[in-house]
Every structure is written in C-alpha cells, then in structure tokens.
Amino acid sequence: MAEVRGIEAVVLDVLGTLVDEPSGLRAGIRDAVPTLDDASVDELLAMWQRHRDLEQHRIARGDRPYANTEIIDAEAARRVAAHAGLADPAAIAKLAAAGQRLPAWHDSVAGLDRLGRHFPVLGLSNASRTALFRLNAHAGLRWHQALSAEDVQAYKPAPEVYQLAIDTAGCAPERVLMVAAHAWDLRGAQANGMRTAYVRRPVGDPPARSDTFDWRFDGLDALVTALRPRAKPLRDERDHPP
C-alpha cells in the first residue's frame, strides 16, 4: 500500500460512494407506484439505470449534445412511469427527482467531517449543479466545495471533469487524492495523474486484478484513519467531536 505523502486535497465521488443511489431510486419508484412487488421495482430500477448509462455514453461519444442529469432522470422517470402505467404528472415529476433524495451510507457524514479537519475536501459528481445541491442537503453531506460535471458539460470519466477538480484544488494532480467506490472512476482520475483510493460499497464497481490504485479500503472510516496520521489538522478535533 502506498504511503501517505504529499496529499494536499481530497476529492470524493458522491453517487454510490457517499450515497446509496439504488436504494434511493427504489424508494422513489415504490412511492410512485405502491402496488409494485420487489421484482417489479428492481426491473424498473434497471430500466432507469440503463437509460442513464446509455444517454451518458451517447453524450461522451458525441452522438447527443450535453444534457444534465435532471434532464436524463426526467426521461428515465417517464419511461418507468409509462411501463408501470403511471400517468399523474405530479407523481411523475416527483419520481424524476428521486435521484436528489438519496440516503447517505452509515459512515459518510461523520467520515466527511473527520476528513475535512485535515484536508480541503471536494465533492466531484456527475449530478447536475441543482441536483447535487439538493442531494447534499438531503443526505447531510458537508463539503469545503462540491463540484458538478455540468460545469464542464461532460460526464466522468471524461478527463475534463477530473481536471476541474485539480484546477479547483490548485495543486499538482499527484497531490490530489480521488476517492470512489467505482474502479472506472478511479481509472479516469489515475489517467489524469491523481492519486487514487478505492472504498468498497455494496453498489460499487470493484477493482479488476490489473488495477493499481494507491489504496483500497472497506469503508470511509478506514480511509480517514490511514490519511490522518500525516495530515496537519485544519481545525482542532476537540472542538468538533465526531
């Protein structure tokens, strides 16, 4: 495992890494159509995720102009609603915003607070600016700054998204640590010269045997503990207990 040296800023992915996206979307689908059984909810969730992934890949290939996650989620919600026989416009609009009401993982809020005592901490998400703002408020996530890929009109793993974080951090990429539960996300950061840390989540994308990330952790607490010994506190932990 790599030693903790020279890290000046920490960047964390949000969707899947700090919040449980599938659970939040499932809850939104169940709320919209309470009569569905679990298998039907899972089918509609998969439909939503396929649409999102397909459209983001189309944008990355240049087959579609950039559209933010609010637009893509609204499209996915309409598909899900049509399949489930849901026709109420208000219910469909509420469903479309389900991605802004995602629960934080059990260690996310406290882990961010502990990490933020020692490092400048940035969130970096494919979520739109507005969706990220509302998601952070709902999940109780607190950042020094939260960055949306919408600012560069692209989606991770496009290099310009990681460059946005590097530029915001204001230091060399090798002094910026990218933290994510998705190996594909870390590969993109690694290609931009960033240090990398994988945090295992039930819904993440595990590393392949060929991946050479700097660190791998079972949770955010382990990451904070590993980073903290060499970090100079930004504020006194006695004044801000976990």
Which stretch of DSSP H or E encloses residue 145? strand 145-148
129 CB-near residues (< 8 Å, 6+ apart): 68, 148, 150, 151
Helices (H), 64-175: 69-84, 89-96, 108-116, 129-139, 159-169
Q: Do residues 154 and 160 touch, judged by C-beta distance below 8 A?
A: yes
Q: Could you tell me if 16 and 28 lie in one domain?
A: no
The whole-angstrom separation of Cα 216 and Cα 139 is: 24
Number of independent structural domains in the chain: 2
Q: How far is CA 63 from the centre of its chain?
A: 24
Q: Could you tell me if 154 and 136 lie in one domain?
A: yes
What range defines the domain where residue 208 resides? 9-20+102-239
Closest by CA position to 144, among listed 119, 167, 127: 119
Q: Could you tell me if 140 and 202 lie in one domain?
A: yes
Q: Could you tell me if 113 and 199 lie in one domain?
A: yes
Q: What pLDDT shows up at residue 242?
A: 43
Which stretch of DSSP H or E encloses residue 123? strand 121-125
Q: What pLDDT shows up at residue 235?
A: 56
Q: Could you tell me if 192 and 77 lie in one domain?
A: no
Q: What pLDDT shows up at residue 204?
A: 86
Q: Is position 2 within any domain?
A: no
The whole-angstrom separation of Cα 103 and Cα 194 is: 28
The whole-angstrom separation of Cα 41 and Cα 140 is: 26
Residue pointed to by tokens 């102009």: 65
Q: Is position 3 within any domain?
A: no
Q: What pLDDT shows up at residue 215?
A: 96
Q: What pLDDT shows up at residue 241?
A: 45
Last residue of a domain, one of 44, 72, 100: 100
Q: Could you tell me if 141 and 229 lie in one domain?
A: yes
| 9-13 sheet: strands from edge to edge | 145-148, 121-125, 9-13, 176-180, 195-199, 215-217
Q: Is position 32 within any domain?
A: yes
Last residue of a domain, one of 73, 100, 127: 100
Q: Do residues 192 and 5 touch, judged by C-beta distance below 8 A?
A: no
Q: Is position 30 within any domain?
A: yes
Q: Could you tell me if 94 and 150 lie in one domain?
A: no
Q: Could you tell me if 153 and 201 lie in one domain?
A: yes
The pair of three-digit structure tokens given for residue 69, joined into one six-digit string? 């996650």
Last residue of a domain, one of 41, 69, 100: 100
Question: In 10 A of CB 134, how many CB atoms?
Answer: 17
Q: What Å distances lie between residue 147 and 12, 16, 93, 193, CA to CA?
A: 10, 16, 25, 19
Q: What pLDDT shows up at residue 6?
A: 85
List of the chain residues with pLDDT < 50: 1, 237-242
Q: What pLDDT shows up at residue 1?
A: 47
CATH code, domain carrying 145? 3.40.50.1000
The whole-angstrom separation of Cα 56 and Cα 227 is: 33
Closest by CA position to 92, among listed 104, 78, 102, 110: 78
Q: Considering the entire predicted model, what is its pTM?
A: 0.92
Q: Could you tell me if 89 and 126 lie in one domain?
A: no
Give buried/exposed letters for 84-115 (b at 16+ CB in 10 A, else e): bebeeeeebeebbbbbbbbebbebbbebbbbb
